[in-house]
Amino acid sequence: MTDEPNPVSSENPTVEALIENIDHPKPDLSSLEVDREDYVIETIHLHKRYGKLHAVNDLNLRVPRGSVFGFVGPNGAGKTSTMRILTTLMLPSSGEAKVSGFSVLTQPREVRRSIGYMPDFFGVYDDMKVWEYLDFFAACYEIPESERPGLINDLLELVDLKHRRDDMVDKLSRGMKQRLCLARTLAHDPEVLILDEPASGLDPRARIEIRSLLVELAKMGKTIFFSSHILADVAEICTDIGIIEAGQMVAQGPIDEMRRQLLPHRQIVITLLGRVDEAKEKLMQVKGVQEILDLKDEAGRKRIQVNFNGEDAGISELLTALTSSGIPVTNFAEQTQDLEAVFMRATKGIVT
């Protein structure tokens, strides 16, 4: 057992984590209306083979309408292949994939109309201005010429690039390019956004900006399906996750449910002024306590970790057991277990 399971709250947090904690409160996803009975993306026994390599192996993916779905997996797990099939850029070897109810095999045009796709790289037309870039793609999505100026202004405002309207695209920073690319995906008001590593290679601030934008878009009713290596991003903005390994879906569902399923016990860290043995004895009597571990002292104070399996009422009982006995408690907090723990538990480290 590690002493500090959550890297964000460790004694030596990364600069990145610090900036995120200082600048950016966790976005509120409670207003999102996720319809778990209606799947906007669905794959049925999907396979993709490259010669002997089985990149996607009987994948059954289901993305609920209105969700922010994080698609995670190790390198070579089949994330990009799945996304390329969903965006009609590649044919599956067998199986079916549907987006907004349209088959990628037989209705690719309808699929394209309903998706906004952002690949994991930014395709640059270095000889275009920002507004020209959006105008070109809006025209490619058959937006009438008369509607485009207003649309471009709205999109630039949304991604906070209005002030760079007349700049050449190649003069933008990577984060700005990524935001512009996101604006491009919205030109035709698609139902679903399919984003491959949207925060890849961005600095912490740009990552936060992209994450905030994604949450805003989700609040506007878009379903967001994105892949990421950065589990912190997934944990922060996703309502649902799917974990893929060796081309197979190893786990998928609402993020809280996944945490509960894959990490059966909750961790409560308690800081005491003394009487540790007595506290342990009292706590062990509460129903649901599995084990109690000693942690390193912090500023001369004793700390213990209680691994607990139960509901919130049980956690309240833990605190009551200590305070009713007069044991001095200075801190009592449940540790949020990060998605990395869920990920490590779900995957086996298999790479195709």
Partner 1 sequence: MRNPVRLLLGNPVVLKELRGRMRGPRAFIVLTGFLALVGGFAILLYLGMNAASRTNTGQVDGGEIGRTLFAGVIGIELFLVTFIAPAFTAGTISGERERQTYDLLRTTLLPESQLVMGKLFSALAYVFLLLLAAIPMQSLSFILGGTDLPDLFISFVILMTTAIFLGTVGIYFSARIKRTLPASISTYGVALGIVIGTILLFFILTVVTAPLLDRSGNVQASRTTEWIILIGRGALICLNPITTLWVSIDALVEQQSLWAFEYTFQGGSQGATSTVTLPSPWLVFTVLYLVISALFFMFTTRRIRQIDEQ
Interacting residue ranges for partner 1, rule: CB under 8 A: 50, 84, 87-91, 108-109, 112-113, 115, 117, 119, 121-125, 127-128, 132, 136-137, 139-142, 145, 184, 188
Which residue, 137 or 225, is less far from partner 1 as judged by CB? Answer: 137
CA distance 192 to 156: 20
The least CB distance from residue 243 to partner 1, in Å, is 25
The least CB distance from residue 108 to partner 1, in Å, is 7
Which residue, 210 or 262, is less far from partner 1 as judged by CB? Answer: 210
The least CB distance from residue 103 to partner 1, in Å, is 13
CA distance 157 to 140: 21
Cα pseudo-dihedral 119, 122, 128, 134, rounded to 10: 40
Tokens representing residue 201 in the block: 């290679």
Distance of CA 319 to the CA centre of its chain: 33
The least CB distance from residue 99 to partner 1, in Å, is 11
3-state SS of 242-311? Answer: EEEECCEEEEEEEHHHHHHHHCCCEEEEEEECCCHHHHHHHHHCCCCEEEEEEEEEECCEEEEEEEECCC
Which residue, 47 or 260, is less far from partner 1 as judged by CB? Answer: 47
Residue 291, beta-bridge partner list: 307
The least CB distance from residue 292 to partner 1, in Å, is 54
Which residue, 109 or 287, is less far from partner 1 as judged by CB? Answer: 109
Which residue, 168 or 263, is less far from partner 1 as judged by CB? Answer: 168
- The DSSP symbol for 18 reads H
CA angle 228, 336, 198 (to 5 degrees): 15
Quick one: angle between helices 276-284 and 312-323, nearest 10? Answer: 140
Which residue, 192 or 269, is less far from partner 1 as judged by CB? Answer: 192
The least CB distance from residue 154 to partner 1, in Å, is 19
The least CB distance from residue 159 to partner 1, in Å, is 16
Quick one: angle between helices 148-158 and 130-140, nearest 10? Answer: 120
Which residue, 19 or 124, is less far from partner 1 as judged by CB? Answer: 124
